[in-house]
Structure 1
Amino acid sequence: MNGLDWTVLIAYFAVMVAIGFWSHSRVDDVGDYFTAGGRMPWWLSGISHHMSGYSAVMFTGYAGISYQYGVTSYFTWAFPIAIGVGLGARWFAPRLNRMRSRLRVASPLEYLKDRYNLPTQQALAWSGVLLKIVDVGAKWAAIATLLSVFTGITITQGIVITGAITAVYCTVGGLWADALTELGQFAIQLVAGLAMLVAALSKLGGVDSVWNVWDEPALRHHGHPTAGPYTAVFLLAYLFIKTFEYNGGMWNQAQRYMATGSARKAARSAMLSSALWFVWPLVLFFPMWIAPLLVHAKKPDASDSYALLTERLLPHGLLGLVVVGFFSHTMAMCSSDANAIAAVVTRDIAPAVSRTAREWGSRIGLIAARATTLLFLGLSMAIATQVDSPAFKDIITIVIKWVAGLVGPIAIPFLLGLMPRFRRSGPTAALVSWALGLVAFYLVNYPVNDAVSGGVGLEYQISVPVAISLVLYIAIGWIKPEDTPERDALIAKVNADGDGAAAAVLPEPERGYAAG
């Protein structure tokens, strides 16, 4: 990077911080901080939902998969997410929006105390928070890895820089700042991604190379939808898992649906996000697929291939813009996760363990929310410095194995608990399915016998935990039904369409922490 590239990067950081401070005026209480007061336009919610769904891991871990296996990276990642989010437009997005407006909650998990009980709520909250600290830590490490390639600064320095800037705008402006910065980040990534695509096509001889390039020996096997450990079973497992994760199972996407003005608008935002997932990753992935023709990756997992490709193809100025694109995705996901975790900690965990927290007013609750956001970012940054340790192995292992394998036991009781079909599943079903899902994850990923570990495919490492959780959640609900009139009434409130009596049971959330 030269002076022009640094100017682009610094200008980007300045704009993100400015948006954060501008958003500060729109945040009066925790309802604004965590759910934008239910006033976010559906199109902004949809773009924010999409942008908060992936990070610089795409340009490191998934770039490595693209370099080695080609189009497999799209068909076993973006494609199932697009389908899952499209399904969620009907199944989950409207219910999550009604959960905010009719149950008067500011956190995705607040309703769990009444849907199940306090222990269930706390189990899901604590385990999800711990998982997200590790997950976001992997994201910081990914962007710092890219930054080190372009600038030569250390991984730790890169983590501190990106984390500190993200902390400023997302702590000051809350969900409004997250969504508005994600809109700006989407515009930047649109230009950067198209610039990279045009540069790659020009290097290969024009638009015709989109079809002709696959005959090259280096890309002979790059046209297969599934390859290596990313098999058809992996694709189906990922479709199932990502349907839960990207429809609110890990909370930050749930906030986007909660933030819109109505259930119908939430569904429209989900459809927009789904359409973007179908189309936009194709633009980003193509240069990664043809990278073996242009660069030679130095790392064993080829996670540096996209950075090397960018250095070769783009002139200064555009190079800085693409680096900004790396930052845009990572900062979008990490800031949205930080806001979601702060919501869960201040609205669900803190009141359960502290009487003082239960008595917080609007002002103190907002201060606590911002302090929790900073604490989460700090812990995830500390984890990021250890991402290459033997315990975590590497970035892509954390993102694919840990998150995909653990999201099911956390997400299934949360999301299925909203649906009438599963009303018989109560606290016992939720806790047992959660606990044994976690046990299953440990057994298939870290068995006592190393020979057994080597024989368990990646598709089973991520699918077995969620399958066990789902089966137990449904089966225990039928064996030991725990539906009560109170729980049935709660489910009815989030499922009734229109503005009828069921919809009018509870008004919009009151302003202030004490609401709900």
Structure 2
Amino acid sequence: MNSLDWAVLIGYFGVMVAIGVWSHKRVDDVSDFFTAGGKMPWWLSGISHHMSGYSAVMFTGYAGIAYTYGVTSFVTWSLPIAVGVAIGSRLFAPRINRLRSRLHVASPLEYLKNRYDLTTQQALAWSGMLLKIVDVGAKWAAISTLLSVFTGISLNQGILITGVITAVYCTIGGLWADALTELGQFVIQLLAGVSMFVAVVLKLNDKHIGFFGAWDEPALHGHGKPLIGPYGTVFLLAFLFIKLFEYNGGMLNQAQRYMATGSAREAERGARLSAVLWLVWPVVLFFPMWVSPLLVHAAKPDGSDSYALMTEQLLPHGLLGLVVVGFFSHTMAMCSSDANAIAAVFTRDVAPVMSRRARAWGERSGLVAARVTTVLFLALSMAVATQVDSPTFKDIITVVIKWVAGLMGPIAIPMMLGLLRPFRRSGPTAALTSWGLGLLAFWLVNYPINWQVDGGVPLEYQVSVPLAVSLILYILIGYVKPEDTPARLAVIEKVNTDGDAVAVAAAAGVSEGAAPLS
């Protein structure tokens, strides 16, 4: 990077901070900070939902998969997300929006106390927060890895720079700042992605290979196969279920985008927009990665540095800075949205249980607590980021695929399926059992059993077994030991209908006022 590239990067950081300062004026209370007061337009919600699902891991870990295996990086990652979000646009988005509009909650997990009980809510809240700290730590490590390639600064310095900038704008501006910066980041990503796509196509033409002829080259042998290597049919099916839960609210930050719109209908429209973007846009981003073996030789065995090397070689200064900014836009969008979601869970769900003083927070003190929690979460995730290359985590892609995907099912299934009428029989026993034994299954498959199996347990089973165990137990225990009390039925009906309170109570089979709903 030269002075022109640095000017682009510093200008980007300045704009992000400026948006955070401007958004500060729109945050008057906790509802504004966590759910934009339910005033976010559907198109902004959709773009924000899409952008908050990316990070620099795409340009490191998934770039390595694309470099090694080809189009399976799209088939087993962004395609399941697109399908999952499309399904969730009808199944989950309207119901999650009603958590805010009908139950008047500001955290995606706040309703669990009435849907199940306090113990279930706390179990899911604590495990979700801990998983997010590890997940976001991997994201910081990914962007810092890229930054070190281009600038030569150390991993820890990169983590500190990106973390501090993100903390500034998302702490003062809340969800409004997240969404507006994500809109700007989407425009930057569009320019950077198209620039890289065009540069690669021109380079292929210079080599007399061409856009379509690339697939006939020996270096890309097998790159056109949709499922290859460790990414087979079982992995694809498992990821489809995982992404269905994860990207519709299981990881909390996407749930806030549904909650932030004015109505259930707008939440559904925003989700559909996000699904279309997930289906189309990653193809543009992935194409340079698929053909990267024709243009560069990765220094790392997993190919995770291939995209960065290709960017350095193909783009002129200025555009190089723009693409680096694109890397930042992905990661900062996801990490800031995660920080806001975890702050909501801690201040609304965890702190009131731990402290009597927290239960008495007013609007001002609650807003201060939300901002302090956001900073603390980012600091903890940055500390974890410095350990991503340790033997415990092994590498970035291991954290993202094995840990996050493997642990997602046990945490998300009680939260997401608890919204739906067909699972009304599943109560606290089903939720806690599926959660606890799902986590146990993750540990067994990834560690004791993995150590005993010659060659290790295949990756597809490492991520699918915990999900399957949790899903089966949640449904089965609901039928064996139904716990569909009138109060719980009333909560379910509230998030499944837009009718008035009397109609909802009647549908639940209880009289109005028979049990508290929120």
Place the TM-score, normalised by the shorter chain, in its bin: over 0.9
1:35 counterpart residue number:
35
Once residues 449 and 273 of structure 1 are traced to their aligned partners in structure 2, the CA distance between those partners, rounded to angstroms, is 37
* Partner-residue secondary structure (3-state), 1:209: coil
Q: CA deviation at 1:447?
A: 1.0
Q: CA deviation at 1:208?
A: 8.7
Tell me, yes or no, if the aligned pair for 1:137 and 1:382 is still in contact at 8 Å. yes
TM-score, scaled to structure 1: 0.96
Tell me, yes or no, if the aligned pair for 1:496 and 1:502 is still in contact at 8 Å. no
Once residues 456 and 175 of structure 2 are traced to their aligned partners in structure 1, the CA distance between those partners, rounded to angstroms, is 44
1:107 counterpart residue number:
107
Q: Gapped runs of 5+ residues in structure 1? A: 506-514
Q: CA deviation at 1:210?
A: 3.1
CA deviation digits over 1:169-228, x for unaligned, max 9?
000000000000000000000000000000000011189933221000101211000111
TM-score, scaled to structure 2: 0.96
CA deviation digits over 1:248-287, x for unaligned, max 9?
0010000000000000000000000000000000000000
* Partner-residue secondary structure (3-state), 1:107: coil
1:2-17 to 2 correspondence within 5 Å? Answer: 2-17=2-17
Once residues 214 and 44 of structure 2 are traced to their aligned partners in structure 1, the CA distance between those partners, rounded to angstroms, is 37
The AA in structure 2 aligned to 1:13 is F
Tell me, yes or no, if the aligned pair for 2:42 and 2:269 is still in contact at 8 Å. yes
1:130-279 to 2 correspondence within 5 Å? Answer: 130-205=130-205, 209-279=210-280
Q: CA deviation at 1:501?
A: 5.0
Tell me, yes or no, if the aligned pair for 1:132 and 1:337 is still in contact at 8 Å. yes
Tell me, yes or no, if the aligned pair for 1:244 and 1:412 is still in contact at 8 Å. yes
Q: Gapped runs of 5+ residues in structure 2? A: 507-516
Of all paired residues, the percent bearing the same amino acid is 76
Tell me, yes or no, if the aligned pair for 1:493 and 1:502 is still in contact at 8 Å. no
Tell me, yes or no, if the aligned pair for 1:197 and 1:286 is still in contact at 8 Å. yes
The AA in structure 2 aligned to 1:481 is P
Tell me, yes or no, if the aligned pair for 1:425 and 1:483 is still in contact at 8 Å. yes
Tell me, yes or no, if the aligned pair for 1:188 and 1:325 is still in contact at 8 Å. yes
Tell me, yes or no, if the aligned pair for 1:137 and 1:387 is still in contact at 8 Å. yes
Once residues 144 and 78 of structure 2 are traced to their aligned partners in structure 1, the CA distance between those partners, rounded to angstroms, is 23
Once residues 452 and 445 of structure 1 are traced to their aligned partners in structure 2, the CA distance between those partners, rounded to angstroms, is 11
Tell me, yes or no, if the aligned pair for 1:47 and 1:182 is still in contact at 8 Å. yes
Q: Which runs of 4+ in 1 moved over 6 A?
A: none
Once residues 122 and 238 of structure 2 are traced to their aligned partners in structure 1, the CA distance between those partners, rounded to angstroms, is 27
1:311-326 to 2 correspondence within 5 Å? Answer: 311-326=312-327
* Partner-residue secondary structure (3-state), 2:455: helix
Once residues 462 and 185 of structure 2 are traced to their aligned partners in structure 1, the CA distance between those partners, rounded to angstroms, is 34
Once residues 330 and 18 of structure 1 are traced to their aligned partners in structure 2, the CA distance between those partners, rounded to angstroms, is 18
User: Cα distance 1:471–1:65, how it changes in 2: closer, same or farther (>3 A)?
Assistant: same
Once residues 190 and 127 of structure 2 are traced to their aligned partners in structure 1, the CA distance between those partners, rounded to angstroms, is 35
Tell me, yes or no, if the aligned pair for 1:75 and 1:225 is still in contact at 8 Å. yes
Once residues 444 and 315 of structure 2 are traced to their aligned partners in structure 1, the CA distance between those partners, rounded to angstroms, is 46
Alignment pair present for 1:283 and 2:284? yes
- CA RMSD between the two structures: 1.6
User: Cα distance 1:273–1:449, how it changes in 2: closer, same or farther (>3 A)?
Assistant: closer
Q: CA deviation at 1:448?
A: 5.8
Alignment pair present for 1:65 and 2:57? no
Q: CA deviation at 1:499?
A: 6.3
CA deviation digits over 1:451-483, x for unaligned, max 9?
327341111100000110000000000000001
The AA in structure 2 aligned to 1:34 is F
Alignment pair present for 1:458 and 2:459? yes
Alignment pair present for 1:360 and 2:361? yes
2:514 counterpart residue number:
none
Once residues 390 and 316 of structure 1 are traced to their aligned partners in structure 2, the CA distance between those partners, rounded to angstroms, is 37
